[in-house]
């Protein structure tokens, strides 16, 4: 989805039961990397995240999952979990790259419970910050 207010794109993640929803703002190249994978668009040459997956495939490294692991000061953090030579690796990533890779590797995307909680509270903070005195005016006369 395109967000005209921030001139950025929004990725909407939902859980299986549609009970939780997490919007993540991403840049244009990352948004197209994600929508290409969702729509099954095959490009004549490997795009950046196709290359990422091809590098891992060639090295026999397997993406197990990606996790949206944290939210700090409006920035989401993700981790890519890999299996390589019988060892597990966890690598820091932006959620946009992690999601673009997960869709190509057909691996699950998880969101840490904390992130959902923090997301709701940061949203509340933003709402409170944006409140102006006149918003209260209509109630106190």
Partner 1 sequence: MEDGMKNGWVKLAVQGVMSDAIPNSDSQVVILQDEQKTQTLPIWVGTAEGTAIRMALEGVIPPRPLSHDLIRNLTEQLGLKISKVVVTDVQNNTYYASISLSGRPSELTVDARPSDAIALAVRAGSPIYAAQDVLDRLAPENVAPWLKLLGTKDFGGTV
Q: Do 58 and 33 form a contact (C-beta atoms < 8 A)?
A: no
User: Which helix (H) or strand (E) element contains residue 13?
Assistant: strand 8-14
d(CA 20, CA 112): 12
Q: Residues touching partner 1: how many (CB under 8 A)?
A: 29
Does 93 sit near partner 1 (CB under 8 A)? yes
Length of the chain measured in residues: 141
d(CA 101, CA 80): 9
Q: Taking CB under 8 A as the criterion, which residues in 9-68 touch partner 1?
A: 28-30, 33, 44-49, 51-52, 54-56, 58-59, 61
Q: Do 67 and 78 form a contact (C-beta atoms < 8 A)?
A: yes
Among 70, 94, 112, 122, binds partner 1 (CB under 8 A): 94
Residue (6 or 130) nearer to partner 1, CB = 6
Among 84, 117, 123, 126, binds partner 1 (CB under 8 A): 84
Binding site for partner 1 (CB under 8 A): 28-30, 33, 44-49, 51-52, 54-56, 58-59, 61, 75, 77, 80, 82, 84, 89, 91-94, 97
């Amino acid at each position: 989805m395109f967000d005209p207010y921030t001139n950025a794109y929004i990725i909407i993640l939902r859980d299986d039961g549609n009970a939780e929803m997490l919007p993540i703002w991403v840049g244009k190249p990352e948004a197209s990397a994600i929508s290409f994978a969702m729509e099954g668009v095959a490009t004549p040459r490997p795009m950046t995240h196709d290359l990422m997956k091809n590098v891992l495939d060639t090295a026999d490294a397997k993406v197990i999952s990606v996790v949206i692991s944290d939210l700090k000061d409006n920035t989401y953090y993700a981790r890519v979990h890999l299996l390589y030579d019988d060892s597990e690796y966890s690598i820091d990533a932006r959620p946009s790259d992690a999601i673009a890779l997960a869709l190509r590797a057909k691996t699950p995307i998880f969101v840490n419970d904390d992130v959902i909680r923090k997301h709701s509270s940061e949203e509340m903070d933003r709402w409170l910050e944006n409140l102006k005195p006149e918003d209260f005016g209509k109630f106190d006369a």
